[in-house]
Amino acid sequence: MWVVSVLCLNTIIYQTSYALDSSSINWQTYLESLIEHAETKNLAASRTWHVLLHYRANSFSSGVTSEVDGSEFFLAQEGKTKPAAELEATLRAFFSDEEIGKEKLTPQCAFPARYHWLDSQLKFNSLMMPVNRCETLEKWRKEVDPESVSLIFSSYFLNNPASMFGHTLLRFNRKGDDSPGLLDYAINYSADPEGESNPLVYVWKGVTGGFQGRFAINRYYDIVKQYNDIDNRDLWEYRLNLSPDQIDMLLLHLWEISKTNFDYFFFRENCSYHLLSMLEVADPELQLREEFWAWTLPTETIKRVSDTPELVESVTRRPSLSSQINQSLKLMTDEERAYLKELIEIDQEKLPIFNLLPPERQAFITDTAINFLHYQNNDRNPGLDKKKMYSLLLQRSQLPGSKSQVSTVPGLVSPDKGHDPARFEITGGEFQSDGRFPEASRKSFVELSIQPGFHSLLSLEDGHAPNSQINYLNLEMRYESKSQEWRLQKFNLVEIISLYPLNLLNYEPSWKIVAGWERNRDYSCANCLPFIINFGLGTAYQSSLFNREVYFGFLDINFESDHELNSGYRAGFGTTVGLLFDITHHWRIALTGNFKQFTSGEKGSVNRVELRQRYYLSRNLEVIFDIKSAGKYREGKLGIAYYF
Amino acid sequence: MQQYRFVAVAQDNLAMDIARGSGEYVTTMAYLEGCPTEVHDSFTKMVQHNFNIIFPQPESDPETILIKLEEKIAADPLLAAQCRGIS
């Protein structure tokens, strides 16, 4: 007891002397010594400092520039490009109690990650400098209270160009076994394109960095509602193996970075890119961003993280509403599906009673009907029948409680296991263009094709959106034996196909859009290279008679422009029908027929039939065998393609 | 306050989970009402049984839902003793 009181007394005396001395202690001298110490240790050149300030080496000159664009993030005038100046200004600011920024925080409280790291390097002496208490920060830290961090991948959403390639965000999993996951916090980096309704301006601004990007912090239930329920996207959760200190650093840095902004670039400096930089802050040893110099595809960042040894602890999937419903449908008998249909379709408040089934099955069918109405009734479709939903819920509440909710769908492959985005193809074959097939008229060719992304109808679907195609900047060159020269065969800007097989849930139309240059082989202009625009709207149906078959049909609008065409162009309507057929998981076939009637410009019609086959030797290697006929033109080719 | 925001954002899912007597939305609600894990099953059963009272009409507003819910918790001896609403 005595010892304790002496200790306490000591402390008090110590503090008093500190208080007496504080005005006379020369903080200035200590500050100068810290700056000198930092210079000796060359801290401004260290990886952690560069990561904290988001510096990146300049492409065309020496030096670095920070990716942060908000001026409030820098304490030195030239902080955006001068790491040493920023470090010195930061140390100086830590001796000031001037409140900065919108939230009126002292520099120590506004930049806690910098403070934490500089303290660890320079061993701040709290007696020689001011120490601020940061109450709002501490309160916030306690509220988020993370035990671990997950990287979340929200799967592809083809109906919005900004979400076609998926989206990523970070989730802080709160401490405590009983804390529900829905109350966790998530960090979402996104652009704020509010008020920009002109699509051309939207794209232009997106590409050139015209939007401001910011980190926003939401509850996970907000995220689940938006992505899982409204946009109907699966959420893949990659739980990361980070230490408590690393998580804390991430949290502190989030505090300082969420108050500023970046110029948002769709291609490279997008959501996924900046999340990688957040992970680098947690562990500066990680070098995740380096390989992304031109564009950052969310799937590729997921792969990059998954491929880092010991970084990912586990992967789980939160299925979207439609995934849950589809899975429930598979678990029902025909009789049960008939009940379900009745439940959904009957347009009255008095619902049919199906007492013959055991209560658990009644509950399961009612649950599925509720999910289905919820799916129809979300924010995309407000004002649907709320009364109907309510009577279903009332009826459901009379049935026994269930544990039968579908949470897993077997056989699904996570997005990090998908094929790589870029593709190189080499094929060789023969063609002839006069309709007969005499040996002499056949000519052989070799073809090279390269495309930076992303996924074709016939690509392996593991980890990708099914029944879809998003290709861009595909370049095809052909060498023909007769002409003995390389010629451009095709250069497409974009080629998107989105097939939505009809089922109980879905009656959304399928659609496609193609724009680019493609060499013609038809009635006139047999060798010209017109600029083509094609848009098609149609429908699809899926069966599983053999393995999986998808049938589709489109009504097309076509426009082609080339100076060799009469009047320089031709335009008209057309149809496309086709069948996608999986013989095995690795052997995929597409049969398509295409008819075009040109009614404007140079008139005429074209028929085209194509059979394409892909056999996958591994997830990135495919064997190709295609045959094609267009008018009198015939062609067959064989080759391989590699994804990288 | 936390409860109110949760109900306002997740009302549809909460109604679904309460009606079917299971799910993470109903567990989260129990947590927000300060009910310890041991009584979550009783909480879930109680709210399912009282669905028509907690959601008196097709489009109930979050305030009504919360008031009715907390009345029902107060009326249940076990839950009233165990759950301490966090605000």
Query: What mean pLDDT comes out for the span A336-352?
Result: 75
Decide: residue B60, CB within 10 A, 0-12 exposed, 13-18 middle, 19+ buried: middle
Distance between CA atoms of residues A476 and A501, nearest Å: 31
Among B3, B16, B18, B57, which would you mutate to test the A interface (most chain A Cβ atoms within 10 Å of its Cβ)? B16
Spell out where A137-274 has E strands.
Answer: 146-154, 167-174, 185-191, 211-219, 235-240, 262-264
**Reduced to 3 states, what is the DSSP secondary structure of residue B15?**
helix
Min Cα distance B40 → chain A (Å) is 11
Asked if the model's pLDDT at residue A351 lies above 70, the reply is no
Distance between CA atoms of residues A68 and A257, nearest Å: 9
Residue A230 contacts B where some CB pair is shorter than 8 Å: no
Straight-line distance from the first to the last Cα atom of chain A, in angstroms, rounded to the nearest whole number: 71
pLDDT grade for A406, boundaries at 50, 70 and 90: low
Single-letter amino acid, residue A582: D
Dihedrals phi, psi of A39, to nearest 5 degrees: -70, -45
Q: Which of A462, A470, A463, A428 is nearest to A586 (CA)?
A: A462
pLDDT the model gives residue A193: 57
Q: Which of A495, A516, A629, A496 is nearest to A562 (CA)?
A: A516
Distance between CA atoms of residues A139 and B27, nearest Å: 25
The owner of tokens 């109690």 is A97
- A327, two tokens: 């899975």
Helices (H), A259-333: 271-282, 298-307, 321-330
Residue percentage of chain A with pLDDT more than 90? 45
Question: In chain A, whose CA is at the least distance from the CA of B49?
Answer: A397
Q: Which of A175, A117, A169, A113 is nearest to A144 (CA)?
A: A175
Query: What mean pLDDT comes out for the span A100-104?
Result: 85
CB spacing of B20 vs A374 below 8 angstroms = no
Q: Which residues does chain A have within 8 Å of residue B15's beta carbon, measured at their own beta carbons?
A: 393
Residue A144 contacts B where some CB pair is shorter than 8 Å: no
Q: Which residues does chain B have within 8 Å of residue A181's beta carbon, measured at their own beta carbons?
A: 24
Average pLDDT of chain A, as a whole number: 85
Residue A387 contacts B where some CB pair is shorter than 8 Å: yes
Dihedrals phi, psi of A465, to nearest 5 degrees: -70, 130
Q: Which of A15-24, A115-124, A189-198, A553-562 has the lowest mean pLDDT?
A: A15-24
Q: Which of A225, A363, A328 is nearest to B19 (CA)?
A: A363
Distance between CA atoms of residues A190 and A162, nearest Å: 11
DSSP code for A68? B
pLDDT grade for A12, boundaries at 50, 70 and 90: very low
Tell me the per-residue pLDDT of A163-215, one tens digit each, with 9 for 90 and over.
Answer: 778 889 999 999 887 788 999 999 888 776 565 556 666 666 666 666 777 78
Task: Compute the residue count for chain A.
Answer: 644
Distance between CA atoms of residues A194 and A171, nearest Å: 25
CB spacing of B16 vs A393 below 8 angstroms = yes
- A155, two tokens: 């799967």
Distance between CA atoms of residues A163 and A594, nearest Å: 30
Tell me the per-residue pLDDT of A273-309, one tens digit each, with 9 for 90 and over.
Answer: 888 889 999 999 888 887 776 678 888 888 888 888 8
Q: Which of A320, A321, A373, A381 is nearest to A347 (CA)?
A: A373
Asked if the model's pLDDT at residue A537 lies above 60, the reply is yes
Q: Which of residues 155-194 of A touch B (CB under 8 A)?
A: 177-183
Q: Between these two residues, A19 and A570, which has the higher pLDDT value? A: A570
Distance between CA atoms of residues A24 and A500, nearest Å: 76
Q: Which of A87-96, A400-409, A446-455, A519-528 has the lowest mean pLDDT?
A: A400-409
Distance between CA atoms of residues A348 and A245, nearest Å: 58
A358-364's contacts with Cβ under 8 Å and 24+ in sequence apart are: A359/A399, A359/A400, A360/A400, A360/A402, A360/A404, A361/A336, A362/A399, A363/A396, A363/A399, A363/A400, A363/A402, A363/A404, A363/B20, A364/A328, A364/A331, A364/A332, A364/A336, A364/A402, A364/A404
Does the CA dihedral A525-A528-A534-A539 come out positive or negative? Answer: positive
Straight-line distance from the first to the last Cα atom of chain B, in angstroms, rounded to the nearest whole number: 5
Mark A377-406 as b/e (b = at least 16 C-beta within 10 Å). bbeeeeeeeeebbbbbbbbbbebebbeebb
Distance between CA atoms of residues A639 and A478, nearest Å: 13
Under a CB-based contact definition with an 8 Å cutoff, are residues B85 and A417 in contact?
no
pLDDT the model gives residue B85: 63
Q: Between these two residues, A378 and B11, which has the higher pLDDT value? A: B11
Dihedrals phi, psi of A258, to nearest 5 degrees: -75, -10
pLDDT the model gives residue A437: 52
Residue B36 contacts A where some CB pair is shorter than 8 Å: yes
Other CB atoms closer than 10 Å to residue A644's CB: what's the count?
Answer: 9
Fold of A418-643: Porin (2.40.160)
pLDDT the model gives residue A534: 95
Q: Which of B82, B70, B61 is nearest to B15 (CA)?
A: B61
The owner of tokens 């409140």 is A99
Give the start-to-end residue ranges of the domains of chain B: 2-82
DSSP code for A48? H
Query: What mean pLDDT comes out for the span A528-556?
Result: 93
- B37, two tokens: 């894990």
Distance between CA atoms of residues A370 and B11, nearest Å: 14
Among A173, A174, A179, A182, which would you mutate to test the B interface (most chain B Cβ atoms within 10 Å of its Cβ)? A182
Tell me the per-residue pLDDT of A429-448, one tens digit each, with 9 for 90 and over.
Answer: 998 876 555 555 788 999 99
DSSP A460-493: --TTS-TTEEEEEEEEEEEEETTTTEEEEEEEEE
The owner of tokens 């001298």 is A29
Residues in chain B predicted with pLDDT less than 50, given as ranges, are 87
Q: Between these two residues, A404 and A574, which has the higher pLDDT value? A: A574
How many contacts, defined by CB atoms under 8 Å, are there between A and B? 83
Q: Which residues does chain A have within 8 Å of residue B49's beta carbon, measured at their own beta carbons?
A: 397
CB spacing of A394 vs B51 below 8 angstroms = yes
Single-letter amino acid, residue A186: A
- Could you give the ipTM of this predicted complex? 0.93
Tell me the per-residue pLDDT of A48-59, one tens digit each, with 9 for 90 and over.
Answer: 999 999 998 888
What would you report as the CA-atom Rg of chain B, rounded to the nearest whole angstrom?
A: 11
Question: In chain B, whose CA is at the least distance from the CA of A225?
Answer: B10
Helices (H), A22-173: 27-40, 47-52, 83-93, 107-110, 112-122, 135-144
pLDDT the model gives residue A216: 84
pLDDT grade for A98, boundaries at 50, 70 and 90: confident
Tell me the per-residue pLDDT of A234-248, one tens digit each, with 9 for 90 and over.
Answer: 899 999 999 999 999
| Centroid of chain to Cα A119 | 37
Decide: residue A327, CB within 10 A, 0-12 exposed, 13-18 middle, 19+ buried: middle
Q: Which of B16, B44, B45 sits opposite A370 (nearest CB)?
A: B16
**Reduced to 3 states, what is the DSSP secondary structure of residue A4?**
helix
Give the start-to-end residue ranges of the domains of chain A: 26-133, 141-318, 336-397, 418-643
- Rounded alpha-carbon distances, angstroms, from residue A357 to A165, A336, A361, A401, B48: 44, 9, 6, 16, 21
